[in-house]
Amino acid sequence: MIVATWNVRGAGKVKCASTIKDFKKVYAIDVFAVLEPRISGSKALNVATNLGFSHYHIVDATGFSGGVWIRESLWTYFDGLAKASNLPWLVMGDFNDISCASEKCGGNFDSGGSAFVDWISRNQLIDLGFSGSKFTWCNKRNAEGIIWKRIDRGLSNIAWRLMFPEAHLSHLPALILDHRLHHVSLGF
């Protein structure tokens, strides 16, 4: 089984939909999550129904929801989820943060978000690691101002990692947008 996520703010564009279809075909993707699509309602429904998956679920955007303002409450939410369940779980996507200085190239020094690192530690999460490019996001500026970061990742609890020991996360080639698509192969 292959699970993929992509932070793609241009999900309503024809080129984006055709790229997702191509990825689905080439990588045999079974589950695909589109993050921060910046479309909702009938437009999102139209895109989702035309991607070729048998089922879909749409969570409509509320303005420019997400980002820095809700990050701390997201960590608290996942803390509660981790305490309430002993089930194996994986969370993957754009965390908008780095865990150490080596996950960033360019711009001002940044050692990583302490709240993010504390959350990973507190919940004993395992970073799945990756193959492919070291960085998953680029600000797409000129050479002097360019910044690269690894802000997209997969994290699991110990139970999930024991259930899927062969699972592997891959960063796919950069395409038309600022984030790389990434997928997890569960090894079966």
116 close to 95: Cβ distance less than 8 angstroms: yes
3 close to 92: Cβ distance less than 8 angstroms: yes
Number of H helices, E strands in the chain: 5, 10
CA distance 116 to 58: 27
Domain ranges of the chain: 2-185
Quick one: DSSP state of residue 172? P
Q: What is the pTM of this model?
A: 0.76
Q: Which residue has the tokens 């699991």?
A: 156
The stretches of 28-122 forming alpha helices (DSSP H) are 41-49, 68-84, 114-122
Fold of the CATH domain 2-185: Deoxyribonuclease I; Chain A (3.60.10)
CA distance 122 to 75: 10
> Would you write out the chain's pLDDT as a tens digit for each of its 188 residues?
788 877 777 777 777 788 888 888 888 888 888 877 777 788 888 888 888 788 888 877 665 553 333 456 677 888 888 888 889 989 888 888 899 999 999 988 877 778 889 999 999 999 999 999 899 888 877 777 889 999 899 999 999 999 999 999 988 776 655 677 777 888 76
